[in-house]
Amino acid sequence: VFPKAAVKLQNQILNYMCSAWKANPSHLSFTSRLEKFFPSIVSPNSKGTSSHTGSTSGLNPALVLARNLLPHLPKKVASSTLIPALLSAAASSVQNIEDSDASVVLLHTIATTTWPTDDSGNDEEIDIDDSDVNALFSSEAAEFCPVIHPNIRRTLFEICLSNSMKIFSSNRNKSTPSSCEEALFRVGYASRCIPFLVCIECSNIDADSEDDDSGTETSKYTEDQLIRVFKWYGSILKNLDAVLTSRTETIDKNQDIYVTQSLLLESFSKSAIECHNRTFSSTILSSLKKALAKATSAASSLAFLHPKSLWAMRGAAAIVKALDIIDPGVKINDKSNEMFHTLASNLAESNHFMRMYTLEILDSFPKRPFVTDHADIDLADDLEEEPSYRPKPTGKGSKSTGDSNNLSFSGSCDIISLLKGVESTPVTLANERKLTTQLSRVEVYARTGKLPIAYAESTTLHMLGLLHVKFAPVWPAAVRVIVALSHAQEGPVWPCIEVALTKSMQRPLHNIATPKDSTGIIDISSKKAAENTIIYDHHVRCFSWEASRGKNHVIFTSSDKERNGQVSRHVEADDLTRFESVWSIMENAPHLTSTKSKVVVPMFFNFMLSQYYIFHSDDPDSRELNLVEILGEFRCEEWPREELGRKALQKKLEIFLKTFAAVKGPQQLFKHRTLLQMFVSFLSNPDSKLANLALSCVLRYKLPYLTPYAEHVQPMLQKEGLREALTKFDLSEESELVDISHRLDLIPIVTRILFGRFLSRGNGAKSSKDPPAARRAAILSFFSGLGERNGEINYFIYMMVRAFIPLEMNMVIHGPTMPREHLEKMIESSGCISSNALLKVPIKRQEGFLNLLYDVIVQIGYGMKHFVPNIMNLLLALCEQTEDAFIVNKNQSVENKDLYGDESTAVDRDDYSRIGRVRSLCFLRLSQMLSKFSFSIDFIKFGKRLWNSMTSSVIALPNTVVNAENPPSLLQLIETVASQRELIPLLQESDNAVIAMFKCIEGTTRSKVIGCIMRAIDGLLTDGGSFVDGDSVTVKAHSLGQKLILKHIHLLISQFTKRLTSDSKAANLDDDVATPNGADKVHKRNPTDGLQLNILCRVSELLVSASEVEDENIETMERLCSLLVPSLKFDSHPNHLYVMRTVSSLIPKISDNAAISHYYSLSKLLGPNKAASGMTSNEARTIISSAITGIGSRGIGSNLNRVATAVVELNAASTAYVNEHDFDRMLPVLNGLGASNDSEGSWFDLSKARSGSECKDSMSSIAGPRVLLPLMFTCFHLLYDSDGVISRASSKALKAIVSTCLDQIQSSKEEQENSSHNAWLKFIESTFMPCLKVGIMAKNLPARRSFVLLVSHVSKLFKGFQSVHLYGDLECLIREDDPDQDFFLNVTHVQLHRRARAFTKLRKLILSDGKESNFSDQSCGNILLPLAMHPVYEIKSKSEEAYVVEAIATIGEIAKKLPWGKYNGTLQTLLNNLTR
């Protein structure tokens, strides 16, 4: 079926067969039945498929089986069934030897197939990667292969040997490089097939020998084929030499040739060993040895020409193995010294296979004897030769005796074999002890000092190579070997170490070399494209392994076996680990650092210059050291910053410091003074580990001013011992702990240590015993104790500002300390930096300086007074820098918006945010500086520069406070300036600052922001607190702060008006804000409420005290009155008294209409407050009376003036007694009010204007009964008075006003008919009766009785009126003929039963449903219900229960007549008052 099937069906058949056989490869039905179908499947005449190779070749089904099925079958099953069929297909498909690429590809696939081995018991001994790499040339497929027909074998040899030879010979004569390279590709590809074919031929020799009775003769054909193979090897190697000789390119251009040479050499080695082990033909062996001689010569030449090539070393090592088996006495060459000199450096390579192949080559040479020290020979002993001594294995950690170096090491040294054993041992945890034991043996050899120089160099290099192994236990053992060698044989060892140190300092090669592009190299036809591509890809993979130094290992078969913890040979330790391991040699061999300091120290300097200071480009230490001049021409190339990392640099620096800390007597080092200066600079590193190492290096110098105090200094770098160390180490001038001659040299070192601790961060744990805040406070407290006289604090200030010293200043210092004059010069120069120069200082460093400055000002305070001008200039420069940045960003934003719309941004948001933070911190630090030093430093000279540096921020200030919870930093700065008398002149430099501050007063401004503004205005009003609120404003009318407010007072009042209008929800001037549902609990008082009122009042006084009275000022004062009058409360709080006095002073200044508009509000303040007496303070009532007098004295009506006079008399306080009325002045007024209408001083008399009096147009607005408002409210207030005379007189006066109203209503028939327009009727309905309605709910019983009787009086007089607000329907409850039956008299009676009787009568009257009981909703809800509710709330004893029960019953009957809204509200009130 298969040959006749379509291509798609053939694909499906092949896929199914591969899957089925892989699932059960040993099943008999597959083995027996499918075997006969293989020839038809793989027949070249089949249609083939193109899914796998992309060509139309008939061998595609065979190639599919070879790739997808062959490796997955058991080796014996595959060898007996599939491999013969595939070989037959490969041979039968050849029509023309020159066109046999498809057969070569199939043969190559079969020949290189490998099967996983079952070595589970020896996992520790077998290296997986070594096995995979060694399987590049494999003959596994021929191991169990049956006898193959001679014709097939002949054809297969032909396509490998003849075809390659012909192509190579023909192309060698061509001049095109591509044709020659194509021949090289084919030769290398075919060479991997030949060991497989040789193995098959040798198997046929074995089969022929078994068939031959004598067993001594071999097949003539097989012999000829093998001889031909070895001749082919020799010929190809010779041709390759000829091609190499004819080329004029460099060695790098000849990589194609030596890769092919290496493949040929290894192919020959495999074939030669196979023939040597399986044939005894002298002819074959003779031909083999001739070819071996040529291969040996080629291998030797290849090793010398390409010692750094992986393929060259692999080919040479393969020949070494062949020589060891075939001709043990022959070596690859007799140039042992030259080979060691050429190849030894390979042992330090990172690639395991390079080291392994090199060791195999070097180990093939004769072993050299130990070096004999003739001075140690004892001539008395027997001089006869004895067997060579071999040291016993030494376990890890074993100690050698003191005479270990003097043991008699003699004879041959086998250390190369020992190194080879170390390299070949699989790297696993299970082999850790084995590896370290082997390295300990190498260390014993190293200690002897008797290794031959070549061996010492090789051992050192190999140990350096082992540092690349990604297995940590190997590294310290290898380092110990190198250290031992350096002690015993420093001469040959040091060059190797120096090379390793130099390589560790070089930039890593991140980009792995890629194979060259094949475009244009091979010109192949489309028919042969697939096969040629496969052959070319094989060469590319070989070349990639070479070019990548072993990292790209796709050429080798990947093993499916689990690694079982084995470390891959294709990976290596990272660069930082390698760096650490190499430099740990110097740490453990400090004698090398001392003797080779001219090499080591410049390396350290180059690291600092080309790496550390490239990454930390803003580190001021680099400017102090001037390493560029020190290194001169030895300076290395700088690393790109993107290739550097903070952690890696910190680790490298730590390694260097460990190296130098191990040196005793560092004065012997090259440039030891510069080193000391660098170590001192590292003391300020925030990393405590680095600072500790730096201190160890400094202490090695044994400085006379530091060594005596080492026990005090070292604890400062402990994580949790800083505060205790600072406590014990007293550096104050009074202390005798430190010698006075040591102070100036010691303090810079201590300062650097503490400065680094100051900058270090905490560990993030909340329970840390060393929190950053406490640590910084302790450090600054320590610095505050330093003496100011000798400039001991200067070095700390220098450390703070040195990042801002201009670049043109020379900061280079010579030695660990700096002269005082130079120090002061550097500090002073920091204040001269320009805003453009600040652009080179990183934003993070600027933020750090500003954060540090806060703690310094708080802790050190006046100790830094000498440096305030410099720091002030620096802060202003920072402000100017941010100002410029904001202007540039704004301009760029406008341009980008025009070009790209809203999607583009001018500055990165993170950078812009950082600039904003710097600006905010600058404002805060300026505020802090001005506040702290305003009394000792003249800051006025900075005024112009100060405001110029924050112009944009001042303009934007009103927008920044919108809905801001906290005041902006600029507003805090303005507050500080306004609060200090010495600083207020700064505001004179900028009107914009004051205007911006006033504009911040908005309805949406939060309380904290308003508080800040109010405090600033308060500072201006009080001239920075130089006088208190009680002082007369006029005394300080010409103070600068008040002038600034007067200049913009209209804007200020306008902003207050916006904030305090009724529409503004944010403004709340109440002192106490009640909680919901009427609870007694109050919220926390708003701290700015009273302050706003206070400021308004004082601004008003300032405005009133102004000499010039202009229309604009009058209008402003009217607005002030409109703001202040609504804020007046029934309270005697000092703030409210202040407001009252202010209003009283403003009333005479404003217009008549504006003054009269406040008449009702001021009058109401004299009356009760809800159900309470209202304002009780005599002082407050006197002030209100004075304000009303101010309205009455304006000449707008004689009656108003008389009423105002009566109000003053009615509220007069006694001058003889405290808190007493002036009865002599009050009673005549009350009696006059209670008299008849015809009497002088009566209500009617006061309400009418006298003839001939002058009256303005505004008079009409308060004509008639409205003029009596303050008197009426005062009388209501006096009902609560405890003096019975006053309360009764007030009650009589109020009854008189009711009668007067009735008389005036009835006096005009026209007004009676149209009563809705009657002023007196309106007065009693809308003004008098609401006071009664509220008064009957009073808790004061005498006052309530008066209100109830007044209700009775009104009801009796207005019983015929239709208005429900006059409660005429309650007249039925009045019984003048029988007072005992009068409801109003009974309900207010002192006897309990009389009150109960009143409720009983009311309840029965309501139940009767008669005409008399038809009370209005207003009467029920406003009068009767409140009277019935009082007993419920006021019950005090059990005797009152009957009375309360009757009241409750009455409430029930009243509730039936209430509208729903009133009923629901009453019910909710009762439920809320129930105790839970």
Residue type, 751: T
Instruction: Evaluate whether 1018 touches 1095 at the Cβ level (below 8 Å).
Output: yes
Residue 1077: is its pLDDT beyond 60? no
Residue 1093: is its pLDDT beyond 90? no
In the numeric block, the tokens 């805090």 are attached to 972
Residue 167: is its pLDDT beyond 70? no
Residue 892: band (very low, low, confident or very high) from pLDDT cuts 50, 70, 90? low
Q: Say how far apart CA 128 and CA 1214 lie, in whole Å.
A: 115
Ranges 46-55, 355-364, 636-645: which has the least confidence? 46-55
**Could you tell me which residues come within 8 angstroms of residue 909 by beta carbon, excluding any fewer than 6 positions away?**
none
**Would you state the torsion angle of the CA atoms of residues 150, 156, 161, 167, taken in this order, to the nearest 10 degrees?**
140
Residue 375: is its pLDDT beyond 80? no
Instruction: Evaluate whether 247 touches 189 at the Cβ level (below 8 Å).
Output: no
Structure tokens at 1355: 């009801």
Instruction: Evaluate whether 314 touches 357 at the Cβ level (below 8 Å).
Output: yes
Instruction: Evaluate whether 279 touches 226 at the Cβ level (below 8 Å).
Output: yes
Alpha helix (H) residue ranges in 247-335: 255-278, 282-305, 310-326
pLDDT of residue 65: 81
DSSP lists the bridge partners of residue 1172 as 1169
Structure tokens at 1398: 């009143």
Residue 1209: band (very low, low, confident or very high) from pLDDT cuts 50, 70, 90? very high
pLDDT of residue 1016: 92
3-state secondary structure of 199: helix
Q: Say how far apart CA 177 and CA 164 lie, in whole Å.
A: 17
Q: Say how far apart CA 1472 and CA 1460 lie, in whole Å.
A: 18
Residue 393: band (very low, low, confident or very high) from pLDDT cuts 50, 70, 90? very low
Residue 1397: is its pLDDT beyond 50? yes
Residue 1393 parent element (H or E): helix 1392-1408
pLDDT of residue 404: 44
pLDDT digits (tens, 9 = 90+) for 1055-1074: 888 887 744 544 444 333 33
pLDDT of residue 629: 80
Residue 376 parent element (H or E): none
Distances (CA, A) of 175 to 166, 178, 179, 271, 641: 16, 9, 8, 33, 48
Residue 207: is its pLDDT beyond 80? no
Residue 1170: band (very low, low, confident or very high) from pLDDT cuts 50, 70, 90? confident
Cβ neighbours of 906 (radius 10 Å): 15
In this prediction the pTM is 0.75
Residue 862: band (very low, low, confident or very high) from pLDDT cuts 50, 70, 90? confident
Instruction: Evaluate whether 252 touches 302 at the Cβ level (below 8 Å).
Output: no
pLDDT of residue 733: 73
Residue 1222 CA, chain-centre distance (Å), reads 75
Nearest to 1227 by CA among 1293, 1277, 1180, 1294: 1293
Structure tokens at 1460: 């729903």
Alpha helix (H) residue ranges in 28-149: 28, 38-41, 60-68, 75-77, 83-92, 101-111, 128-134
Q: Which residue has the higher pLDDT, 929 or 278?
A: 929
Residue 1079: is its pLDDT beyond 80? no
What mean pLDDT comes out for the span 494-517? 75
Q: Say how far apart CA 726 and CA 731 lie, in whole Å.
A: 9
Structure tokens at 344: 């030894």
**Would you state the torsion angle of the CA atoms of residues 1118, 1123, 1128, 1134, taken in this order, to the nearest 10 degrees?**
-100
Distances (CA, A) of 1382 to 944, 1415, 1449: 84, 17, 20
Residue 419: band (very low, low, confident or very high) from pLDDT cuts 50, 70, 90? very high
pLDDT of residue 783: 85
pLDDT digits (tens, 9 = 90+) for 1101-1115: 887 776 555 666 788
Q: Say how far apart CA 328 and CA 619 lie, in whole Å.
A: 65
Residue 430: is its pLDDT beyond 70? yes
Q: Say how far apart CA 627 and CA 570 lie, in whole Å.
A: 40
Q: Say how far apart CA 660 and CA 594 lie, in whole Å.
A: 9
Residue 1235: is its pLDDT beyond 60? yes
pLDDT of residue 974: 94
DSSP lists the bridge partners of residue 412 as 369
**Could you tell me which residues come within 8 angstroms of residue 867 by beta carbon, excluding any fewer than 6 positions away?**
797, 827
pLDDT digits (tens, 9 = 90+) for 736-767: 888 888 888 899 999 999 998 888 876 545 54
Residue 259 CA, chain-centre distance (Å), reads 52
What mean pLDDT comes out for the span 925-932? 93
pLDDT of residue 210: 54
Residue type, 597: S
pLDDT of residue 962: 87
Instruction: Evaluate whether 1001 touches 961 at the Cβ level (below 8 Å).
Output: no
Give the side-chain half-sphere CA count within 13 A for 1006.
11
Residue 98: band (very low, low, confident or very high) from pLDDT cuts 50, 70, 90? low
What mean pLDDT comes out for the span 1246-1262? 57
Structure tokens at 1040: 């600068």
Residue 525: is its pLDDT beyond 70? no
What mean pLDDT comes out for the span 676-701? 93
pLDDT of residue 1292: 93
pLDDT of residue 1012: 92
Q: Which residue has the higher pLDDT, 645 or 1034?
A: 645
Residue 1227: is its pLDDT beyond 70? yes
Instruction: Evaluate whether 659 touches 583 at the Cβ level (below 8 Å).
Output: yes
3-state secondary structure of 1265: helix
DSSP lists the bridge partners of residue 1221 as 1213
Residue 25: band (very low, low, confident or very high) from pLDDT cuts 50, 70, 90? low
Q: Say how far apart CA 155 and CA 873 lie, in whole Å.
A: 94
* DSSP calls for 9-48: HHHHHHHHHHHHHHHSTT-HIIIIIGGGGHHHHS-TTS--
Residue 120: is its pLDDT beyond 80? no
Residue 442: is its pLDDT beyond 90? yes
Instruction: Evaluate whether 1334 touches 1374 at the Cβ level (below 8 Å).
Output: no
Residues in the chain, how many? 1476
Q: Say how far apart CA 496 and CA 604 lie, in whole Å.
A: 18
Residue 384: is its pLDDT beyond 50? no
Residue 1440: band (very low, low, confident or very high) from pLDDT cuts 50, 70, 90? confident
pLDDT digits (tens, 9 = 90+) for 1139-1160: 888 888 888 888 888 888 888 8
**Would you state the torsion angle of the CA atoms of residues 873, 875, 876, 878, taken in this order, to the nearest 10 degrees?**
120
pLDDT digits (tens, 9 = 90+) for 169-187: 555 555 455 667 777 888 8
What mean pLDDT comes out for the span 633-645? 84
Q: Say how far apart CA 589 and CA 496 lie, in whole Å.
A: 14
Structure tokens at 1146: 């403003």
pLDDT of residue 905: 41
3-state secondary structure of 293: helix
Nearest to 706 by CA among 695, 716, 720: 695
pLDDT digits (tens, 9 = 90+) for 719-733: 778 888 888 888 877
Q: Which residue has the higher pLDDT, 990 or 1086?
A: 990
pLDDT of residue 1108: 58
Residue 825: is its pLDDT beyond 60? yes
Residue 1118: is its pLDDT beyond 50? yes
Residue 679: band (very low, low, confident or very high) from pLDDT cuts 50, 70, 90? very high
**Would you state the torsion angle of the CA atoms of residues 1453, 1458, 1462, 1467, taken in this order, to the nearest 10 degrees?**
30
What mean pLDDT comes out for the span 844-854? 91
Mean pLDDT of the chain: 81
Q: Say how far apart CA 30 and CA 22 lie, in whole Å.
A: 10
**Could you tell me which residues come within 8 angstroms of residue 905 by beta carbon, excluding any fewer than 6 positions away?**
893, 896
Instruction: Evaluate whether 870 touches 800 at the Cβ level (below 8 Å).
Output: no
Nearest to 413 by CA among 446, 381, 370, 382: 370
Ranges 172-181, 228-237, 695-704, 778-787: which has the least confidence? 172-181
pLDDT digits (tens, 9 = 90+) for 776-803: 888 888 888 776 667 788 889 999 999 9
Structure tokens at 621: 């230490």
**Could you tell me which residues come within 8 angstroms of residue 130 by beta carbon, excluding any fewer than 6 positions away?**
356, 424, 426, 569
**Could you tell me which residues come within 8 angstroms of residue 968 by beta carbon, excluding any fewer than 6 positions away?**
920, 923, 957, 960, 961, 1009
Residue type, 428: T
pLDDT of residue 582: 95
**Helix (H), strand (E), coil (C) string for 244-261:** HHHCCCCHHHHHHHHHHH
Nearest to 1163 by CA among 1263, 1070, 1242, 1276: 1276
What mean pLDDT comes out for the span 646-674? 93
Nearest to 218 by CA among 231, 205, 236: 205
